[in-house]
C-alpha cells in the first residue's frame, strides 16, 4: 500500500512538471515562430517578401496533404535514415517513439509484464534515439543547401523565390507528417506528454530550419530571429501570468 501510494505521488508530480513545461514550451514555440516570420517579412524576393513565398509553399502542401495525398513513404525514408544515424551515434535501437522507455506511459507496464523474468527487451532504446528523426527537417535542410549551391551559379533573384516555395513545402510536410505520426501514439500518452512532445518537436525543428535559412536567404539573420522570438515568448508568458495570477 505504501509503495503504491508513493508511486502515485511520484506520477502526480511528474505529470505536474510536464504541465509546467508545456506552459513554458508552447509560448516559446509561438514566440520563436513570430520571430522567424518577422525576419522573413523584411526580406524582399522579387515583388514579394520571403515570407509570402514560403507561405505559398506551405499552404500548397497543406492543401495537398489534406485533400489529395500524404507521402508517407517519403517521410519514412528520412525517419529511417536518422534512426540509423541516432543508433550509431547514441546507441540503442528504436522504430518509433512508442518503443522508447518501454512503450509509453500507459503501455509500458503491460509490456514489461509480458517480457517476464525481469529481462530487458531486446530492441529498446532511448528517447533521444526515438525523437531524433522528428526534430530534424531533412528535406528543408537539403532545400536550403540546394539554394546555397544554385545561388553560386545563377542570379539569386531567379533562385530565391522557387527555393523559398520549396522551403515552405518541406517544412509543412515535416510538421504535418510528424503530427500524424505522433497522433497515432496519442492513446498511449497522457495529454500533457503529447502536448509537450509536439511543442518540443516544433521548437527544435523551427530552430534547425531557421539556422539553415541563411544558406538560401543570405539576408536572413538567425541571431536576430532568435532574439525577436525570445522577446515575443517572454511577452506571451508575462501576459499569461498576469492574466492568471494578477
| Residue 53 CB contacts under 8 Å (≥ 6 apart), including other chains | 45, 160, 161, 164, 165, 168
Name the residue with higher pLDDT: 234 or 244: 234
Here the cell at position 171 is: 517544412
List pLDDT tens digits, range 59-80: 999 999 999 888 888 888 887 7
Q: What one-character-per-residue DSSP string does 186-230 give?
A: GGGS-HHHHHHHHHHHHHHHHHHHHHHHHHH-TT--HHHHHHHHH
List pLDDT tens digits, range 171-211: 999 999 999 888 887 778 888 888 888 899 999 999 999 99
Euclidean distance between CA atoms 172 and 233, whole angstroms: 22
pLDDT on residue 19:
86
Are the C-beta atoms of residues 65 and 173 closer than 8 Å to each other?
yes
pLDDT on residue 202:
93
Euclidean distance between CA atoms 60 and 64, whole angstroms: 6
Here the cell at position 192 is: 500533457
Mean pLDDT on 228-241 = 91
pLDDT on residue 118:
43
pLDDT band at 219 (very low <50, low <70, confident <90, very high): very high
| Residue 117 CB contacts under 8 Å (≥ 6 apart), including other chains | none
List pLDDT tens digits, range 83-117: 777 667 665 544 444 444 444 455 444 444 444 44
List pLDDT tens digits, range 109-145: 444 444 444 433 333 445 556 677 788 898 999 999 9
* Residue 162 clears pLDDT 60, i.e. is over it: yes
Amino acid at each position: 500500500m505504501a509503495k503504491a501510494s508513493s508511486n502515485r505521488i511520484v506520477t502526480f508530480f511528474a505529470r505536474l512538471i510536464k504541465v509546467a513545461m508545456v506552459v513554458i514550451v508552447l509560448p516559446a514555440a509561438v514566440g520563436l515562430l513570430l520571430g522567424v516570420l518577422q525576419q522573413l517579412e523584411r526580406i524582399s524576393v522579387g515583388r514579394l517578401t520571403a515570407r509570402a513565398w514560403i507561405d505559398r509553399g506551405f499552404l500548397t502542401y497543406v492543401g495537398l496533404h489534406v485533400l489529395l495525398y500524404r507521402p508517407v513513404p517519403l517521410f519514412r525514408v528520412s525517419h529511417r535514415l536518422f534512426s540509423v544515424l541516432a543508433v550509431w551515434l547514441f546507441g540503442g535501437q528504436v522504430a518509433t517513439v512508442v518503443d522508447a522507455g518501454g512503450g509509453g506511459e500507459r503501455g509500458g507496464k503491460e509490456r514489461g509484464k509480458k517480457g517476464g523474468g525481469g529481462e530487458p527487451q531486446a530492441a529498446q532504446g532511448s528517447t533521444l534515439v526515438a525523437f531524433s528523426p522528428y526534430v530534424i527537417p531533412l528535406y528543408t535542410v537539403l532545400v536550403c543547401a540546394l539554394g546555397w549551391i544554385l545561388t553560386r551559379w545563377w542570379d539569386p533573384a531567379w533562385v530565391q523565390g522557387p527555393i523559398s516555395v520549396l522551403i515552405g513545402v518541406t517544412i509543412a510536410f515535416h510538421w504535418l507528417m510528424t503530427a500524424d505520426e505522433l497522433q497515432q501514439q496519442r492513446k498511449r500518452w497522457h495529454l500533457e506528454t503529447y502536448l509537450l512532445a509536439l511543442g518540443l518537436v516544433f521548437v527544435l525543428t523551427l530552430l534547425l530550419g531557421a539556422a539553415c535559412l541563411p544558406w538560401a536567404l543570405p539576408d536572413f539573420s538567425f541571431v536576430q530571429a532568435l532574439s525577436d522570438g525570445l522577446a515575443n515568448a517572454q511577452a506571451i508568458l508575462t501576459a499569461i501570468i498576469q492574466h492568471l495570477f494578477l
